[in-house]
Structure 1
Amino acid sequence: MVVLVTGADGQLGQALKAAAKTHKEVEFYFANSTEADITDPDSLDAVFKKVKPQFCINAAAYTAVDKAESESEKAFAINTTGAGNLARVCKENKTVLLHVSTDFVFDGNSQKPYTEKDITNPQSVYGTTKLQGELAIQDIIREYYIIRTSWVYSQYGHNFMKTMLRLAAERDSLNVVNDQTGTPTNANDLAEALITIINHTANNTDNVWFGVYNYSNEGQCTWFEFAKKIFEVNKITIDLQPIPTTAYPTPAKRPVYSVLDKTKIKDRFLLSVPHWESSLEKLS
């Protein structure tokens, strides 16, 4: 069973590389943006011809949320056109596509966890490009899983946890937003969930549930509460102060509430999802 991973140098790609060491049942092929440029159909045709994957995990994405507001063409090229290109080459090669999307497809106005059936209404360029990428995939291919996730962090790449640890080494005090609520997602847990879906699909060809799914860790918190736990588990003492979103304006609008309901993915793939706090503690 061959699995092609695009965006191999990114945070999720690196988490999948680590997970691959304990999943010998899967032959992974990791391709970075040079080898598999999802904005270039010829590049994708070449790597698919070489690898011949049964599954493809698309971990390639434009994720600079604020920069997307001023680089909309680049964001659309990767998140929308790129997703469509990948769906087409997967369809041509009879490859199952696992595409990672985001909580930013929602407007954040809900007061209860979002399900896969809730109406999408992105409020940023980033969210819009990711939603249009989802729609492009759904228009092109039937054999797909779209996994919406949130607040992804890990020991790899650039993320909130690593930013907090870096700033704590440079400063005596920090202000962090305390009126946006969501769920941190450990990229290592997300990687394991994707592999679980692949194994289920490969082993249950007559009982497959393609479609859209939510995945994050369990529980919820604000960014301030997330930062507080990061410092706690790393035994860092710092003057941490909560602030409202209005005190920290950003180019892109963030969802005020973006907790994801994971009932569907847990029931269908018998997933045991760790709580965000216990998952964070594993990285300390």
Structure 2
Amino acid sequence: MKILLTGCTGQVGYELERSLQGLGQVVAVDRSRMDLSDLDQVRAVIRAERPGLIVNPAAYTAVDKAESEPGLAHRINAEAPRVMAEEAKALGAALVHYSTDYVFPGDDPAPRSEDDATAPINVYGASKLAGEQAIAASGVRHLIFRTSWVYGMRGKNFLLTMLRLAKEREELRIVADQHGAPTWSRTIADTTALVLAQAAQGGEGWWRENGGIYHLSSQGQTTWFDFTRAILEQAGIECRLVPITSAEYPVPARRPHYSVMSSQRLLDRFCSLPSWEEALRLCMN
């Protein structure tokens, strides 16, 4: 099977290129080959490669910038996945796509399930939800993995930012009233590969029974403040941390105060997931 992997230089795409080896012939493309803002190019690459599976971790992820670029965010996060879904359906292929905890408003302090009502409170979340809906409406065989607070040892993410700032400053003021589950990019990639290995054994019937949306986040929950404290402890860096509220750190895009998701559906059907603390330790080792 030929697997077309988008966004291979991103933090999730990089890990997926490694994790998907052995499941098929992986054709990994970055923005220079497939720019998701160019829908004609997206169609052309898919038609040229004719994959049996498309795995799409590429996305517009600049949450604050999206507030001033809603059209671009929507094109990359909603229109491009729609085109991928349509082209995959025409080829008889399947699509794996990644979404976000930000499809939820975060106003209820209980872990969200896949069936809970969505109501994004920022442009980024709305664009990702529109992508989910477009894929489902296409009728293509698909898996959508919603994940949260993604980090890794490459690219741009919270972990690398905190490591850099802690070396530059004596004090860091960190938001302490937003709750979520930090998720290592390698956890996402390895879990995806485990699920797809099962799909490869199950054929068409597997997709009918198991396709759809799954939450894929590390187990447990924390705040940005406590996540930062754990990062610095693992790294052996001393820096004074000051907890602050979201109101004390104004940004263009509103964030959910509570965006923890239940991954029980994935746990019941496929495999286990690490705690966020264990994943962080493995990542930093």
TM-score (norm 2): 0.95
Equivalent pair of 1:55/1:198 in contact (CA under 8 Å): no
Residue 49 (structure 1) shift: 3.4
Note the alpha carbon deviations across 1:157-200, whole angstroms, 9 max, x for none: 00000000010111111010000000000000000111112111
Q: Take 2:16 and 2:47, find their aligned partners in 1: how far apart are those partners?
A: 22
Partner of 2:244: 243
Secondary structure of the residue aligned to 2:206 is: coil
Partner of 1:164: 162
Residue 17 (structure 1) shift: 2.5
Partner of 2:132: 134
User: Which amino acid is the alignment partner of residue 19 of structure 1?
Assistant: S
Equivalent pair of 1:8/1:32 in contact (CA under 8 Å): yes
Q: Take 1:88 and 1:33, find their aligned partners in 2: how far apart are those partners?
A: 20
Secondary structure of the residue aligned to 1:135 is: helix
Q: Take 1:44 and 1:132, find their aligned partners in 2: how far apart are those partners?
A: 18
Secondary structure of the residue aligned to 2:159 is: helix
Residue 41 (structure 1) shift: 3.8
Q: Any unmatched runs of 5+ in structure 2?
A: none
Residue 283 (structure 1) shift: 2.2
State the number of aligned residues.
281
Partner of 2:255: 254
Partner of 1:70: 68
Partner of 1:99: 97
Equivalent pair of 2:151/2:157 in contact (CA under 8 Å): yes
Partner of 1:275: 275
Secondary structure of the residue aligned to 2:9 is: coil
Residue 31 (structure 1) shift: 0.6
Partner of 1:15: 15
Residue 207 (structure 1) shift: 2.9
Equivalent pair of 2:167/2:237 in contact (CA under 8 Å): no
Partner of 1:152: 150
Equivalent pair of 2:5/2:17 in contact (CA under 8 Å): no
Equivalent pair of 1:109/1:255 in contact (CA under 8 Å): yes
Q: Mean Cα displacement is larger for which, 128-137 or 9-18?
A: 9-18
Flag the 1:142–1:18 CA change in 2: closer, same or farther, 3 A: closer
Q: Any unmatched runs of 5+ in structure 1?
A: none
Q: How does 1:169-180 map to 2 (within 5 A)?
A: 169-180=167-178
Residue 211 (structure 1) shift: 0.5
Equivalent pair of 2:5/2:55 in contact (CA under 8 Å): yes
Partner of 1:228: 229
Q: Take 1:168 and 1:116, find their aligned partners in 2: how far apart are those partners?
A: 36
Partner of 1:33: 31
Equivalent pair of 2:150/2:185 in contact (CA under 8 Å): yes
Secondary structure of the residue aligned to 1:207 is: helix
TM-score (norm 1): 0.95
Partner of 1:53: 51
Note the alpha carbon deviations across 1:1-32, whole angstroms, 9 max, x for none: 22111111211111113334xx4243211111
CA RMSD of aligned residues (A): 1.3
Note the alpha carbon deviations across 1:48-105, whole angstroms, 9 max, x for none: 2343321111111000000000111111110111111111111111111011000000
Q: Mean Cα displacement is larger for which, 24-33 or 102-111?
A: 24-33
Partner of 2:3: 3
User: Which amino acid is the alignment partner of residue 192 of structure 2?
Assistant: L
Give % identity. 40
Equivalent pair of 1:145/1:211 in contact (CA under 8 Å): yes
User: Which amino acid is the alignment partner of residue 228 of structure 2?
Assistant: A
User: Which amino acid is the alignment partner of residue 160 of structure 2?
Assistant: K
Partner of 1:42: 40
Q: Take 1:59 and 1:200, find their aligned partners in 2: how far apart are those partners?
A: 20
User: Which amino acid is the alignment partner of residue 259 of structure 2?
Assistant: S
Equivalent pair of 1:56/1:95 in contact (CA under 8 Å): yes
Secondary structure of the residue aligned to 1:281 is: helix
Q: Comparing both structures, which one devotes a greater share of its residues to helix?
A: 2
Equivalent pair of 1:177/1:223 in contact (CA under 8 Å): yes
Residue 35 (structure 1) shift: 1.2
Q: Take 2:245 and 2:42, find their aligned partners in 1: how far apart are those partners?
A: 44
Secondary structure of the residue aligned to 1:204 is: helix
